[in-house]
Chains A and B, each alone.
Chain A
Amino acid sequence: MSTPKLELVGLKKEFADGSVAAVDGIDLAVEEGQTLALLGPSGCGKSTTLNMIVGLEQPSSGDIRIDGRSVVAVPPGRRNVGLVFQDYAVFTSMSVRENLAFGLRVRGQRKAEIDRAVGEVAELLGLSTMLNGNARDLGGSELQRVAIGRTLVTRPAILLLDEPLSNLEAGTRLATRRELRRLQKEAGLTIIYVTHDQVEALSLADWIAVMSAGKIRQVAPASLICQQPDNIFVASFMGTPPMNLLRGALTRADGGYVFRKDAFVVGLLPGTDIGEAADLPVTIGIRPEEVRLCASGEAGLPARVLLAEPRGSETVVTLETGGQVIKAVIASDHRPTEGRDVMLEIDAASLVLFSGETNRRLPMIAELRA
């Protein structure tokens, strides 16, 4: 495997007051051309991580490597890392052109060189017509493009964006998302997004790193992280609504296992080998998207509809079954009325088990049947 573009090794940051580590020893590798989203609730340490990568804050311990070389001792402007701030930080005392030229002027490049680079970036971002305008007069998405352009012009090896969509209106959001995707492809950039919004993360990045309390909880492809959360934190954080999590026990029953919590019983895929977890307490994860409703009378678990919350083409249904409350996401045209009795069907293949002790996902191997 080639050297990762960016590598964080045991990165740690403790602030002077010494209460808790804001970033508590994280390891992360980002390959060249990859897009990764650092996703986590506010206060999880993602912004501190970002500031350390850029160089605005010094790590307490650990290492940051770009192309295999440690950059901890390198000042922010020399790391070849670009940062687009959440509030853009466009210099309103300057024109758009001066903003774009800023990084190159600082580096003492020749005027002809600067003009060419600024022209190119302005072209790429559709800013050519407003180069001579004052940055003070720009609107939200234009400001963001100027902020991105100002960073791109210095040809950073890694581009970091802090909550790039959060300040934009819904319409502009979609356009910007497309724009960022296109830019990433055209310029072959390595991009790290920092966000608390999983929709933003899932739509922008190929890889997701979920953070909480200063630690990275899981790094996985965006397409997989909702189906295969590594632990209960990720399971309860990802997805809208997140996975249904029920704490109970597994018992052996005719050739397989069933999960039991009070009157709620669901069977695992026949032939599943759950190894040493057999008699331990477990938490089962049921994705709301994998719960199906059928008419009362068919086979399945009897349930009652407590609440149906439509959100466009889908409806989030809250159900009561066997004394447990679980949520399901179903197509709105099959939406049941509240208070009705229905039957539930849960796809056994989609069930996820977590150890009741470590809260980590348990490997489940379905045996090949002869």
Chain B
Amino acid sequence: MPSRRLSPLLGLLLILALVVTLFPVFWIVMTALKPPTDWNAVPAVWIPAKPTLVNFRTLFDPEAIREYGVGGVSQSASAAVFGSLLASTVSTALSILIGLLAAIGLSRYSSGSTATPLIILSGRMFPPAAIAVPFVIIFSAAHIIDTYSGLIAIYVAATVPFSTWMLKSFVDDLPREIEEAAMVDGQSRLMAHLTVTMPLIRGGLFATTLFIFILNWSDFMFALVLSYGRIATIPVQLAKYVTATAGTLYGVQAALAVLAMIPLVLAGFAIQSHLARGMTFGAIKR
């Protein structure tokens, strides 16, 4: 990687962009550490004088917030955290698996017609809200409403077009010869894809997985309309911190939001080096 000096102007612009991007994160983290009196104080409290973890404790122990004289939280967030982890992980895994097989099939074996990739994508051209209500009816009839399997099914259906298209672009970039070489050297088709294709699109695979996970993790609408209370996810839980007596519990919401960010940030750091698409180029050097 050649080292390049930034011009002062570009550096300034980058700093500005960074401030704009990171400010909401800063604000959320600070709010999560504020006691209830600071939540919506005027003038705004930027950095709490007495930071507290009470908001985080309230997530799992609804009574904790009462020490500040605020009440009305009825439900622990642990079910929602569990629900989000379960639904997002399983649906992401399924979506990537289906998407990868579809991507290889479309890219290498021209499965279906030439229109197949477009048909797959067209599934995503509906606004989700337009299909949410029909799904409520269908899911009720199929008795999978308010179940994790139902939620996972719709997450997979909603994200497969993305995983297919993203992964297809990575497989397309990979010269076909690389797999043919493996086959000529004695490997079966499937093994060639497993031992040669997969490692070479690893960067793309990680990036797509993270993208799909974020989509599932942050879904609000499907989880809201397809659950009646037996299942919960973090975004739905976030909306529940509104009490009759104390209004919106901003601090508790912020605490849950911070919690929700953690897995994404960790995953982002873990695969940081793979996120640059450049990794996948040069599979065959010319």
Chain A interface residues (CB < 8 Å from chain B):
54-56, 75-78, 81-83, 85-93, 102-103, 106-107, 136, 138, 140, 143, 147, 150-151, 154, 167
Give the size range of B's interface with the partner: 20 to 34
7 closest Cβ contacts across the A-B interface?
Answer: A77-B186, A89-B181, A103-B185, A93-B199, A106-B186, A89-B177, A85-B177
Cβ of B186 and Cβ of A103 under 8 Å apart? yes
The dominant DSSP class at the B interface is helix
B180, B202, B285 interface centre (most CB from chain A within 10 Å): B285
Cβ of A92 and Cβ of B185 under 8 Å apart? no
Instruction: Indicate whether B244 reaches chain A with its CB closer than 8 angstroms.
Output: no
A contact residues around B175 at 8 Å (CB): 87, 89
Cβ of B185 and Cβ of A106 under 8 Å apart? yes
Q: In the assembled complex, how far is the CB of residue A186 from the closest CB belonging to chain B, in whole angstroms?
A: 22
Cβ of A77 and Cβ of B185 under 8 Å apart? yes
Minimal Cβ-Cβ distance residue in A for B196: A91
Residue among A82, A88, A138, A167 making CB contact with B184, cutoff 8 Å: A82
B contact residues around A92 at 8 Å (CB): 200, 282-285
* Complex Cα spacing A167 to B177, Å: 16
A contact residues around B284 at 8 Å (CB): 87-90, 92
* Complex Cα spacing A76 to B181, Å: 10
A contact residues around B180 at 8 Å (CB): 56, 76, 83, 85, 89
Q: Fill in one digit per residue for B250-286: 1 if any A CB lies within 8 Å of its CB, else 0.
A: 0000000000000000000000000000000011111
B contact residues around A75 at 8 Å (CB): 183, 188
* Complex Cα spacing A90 to B185, Å: 12
Cβ of A107 and Cβ of B286 under 8 Å apart? no
A167 and B178 contact, Cβ closer than 8 Å, known pairs A77-B187, A92-B200, A106-B187: no
Instruction: Indicate whether B182 reaches chain A with its CB closer than 8 angstroms.
Output: yes
Q: In the assembled complex, how far is the CB of residue B143 from the closest CB belonging to chain A, in whole angstroms?
A: 45
Cβ of B191 and Cβ of A106 under 8 Å apart? yes
* Complex Cα spacing A244 to B181, Å: 42
Cβ of A151 and Cβ of B185 under 8 Å apart? yes
Cβ of A138 and Cβ of B285 under 8 Å apart? yes
B contact residues around A77 at 8 Å (CB): 183-188
A87 and B186 contact, Cβ closer than 8 Å, known pairs A92-B282, A92-B284: no
B184, B187, B196, B285 interface centre (most CB from chain A within 10 Å): B184
* Complex Cα spacing A89 to B177, Å: 6
* Complex Cα spacing A81 to B182, Å: 13
Q: Fill in one digit per residue for B185-204: 1 if any A CB lies within 8 Å of its CB, else 0.
A: 11110010000100110100
Cβ of B186 and Cβ of A89 under 8 Å apart? no
Residue among B183, B196, B286 making CB contact with A87, cutoff 8 Å: B286
> Could you give 18 example pairs across A and B, Cβ below 8 Å?
A76-B184, A77-B188, A78-B186, A83-B184, A85-B177, A86-B177, A89-B178, A90-B285, A91-B178, A93-B199, A93-B283, A103-B185, A103-B186, A136-B282, A138-B285, A147-B181, A151-B184, A154-B185
B contact residues around A54 at 8 Å (CB): 184
A contact residues around B283 at 8 Å (CB): 92-93
Cβ of B200 and Cβ of A154 under 8 Å apart? no
* Complex Cα spacing A102 to B282, Å: 19
Cβ of A76 and Cβ of B196 under 8 Å apart? no
Q: In the assembled complex, how far is the CB of residue A102 from the closest CB belonging to chain B, in whole angstroms?
A: 6
B contact residues around A88 at 8 Å (CB): 284-285
* Complex Cα spacing A136 to B286, Å: 11
Q: In the assembled complex, how far is the CB of residue A62 from the closest CB belonging to chain B, in whole angstroms?
A: 21
Q: In the assembled complex, how far is the CB of residue A117 from the closest CB belonging to chain B, in whole angstroms?
A: 13
- Interface contacts beyond A56-B183, A85-B177, A85-B181: sample of 19 additional A-B pairs, CB < 8 Å, sorted by A: A75-B188, A76-B183, A77-B183, A77-B184, A83-B180, A83-B181, A87-B175, A88-B285, A89-B284, A90-B285, A91-B181, A91-B200, A92-B282, A93-B199, A102-B185, A138-B285, A154-B185, A154-B186, A167-B286
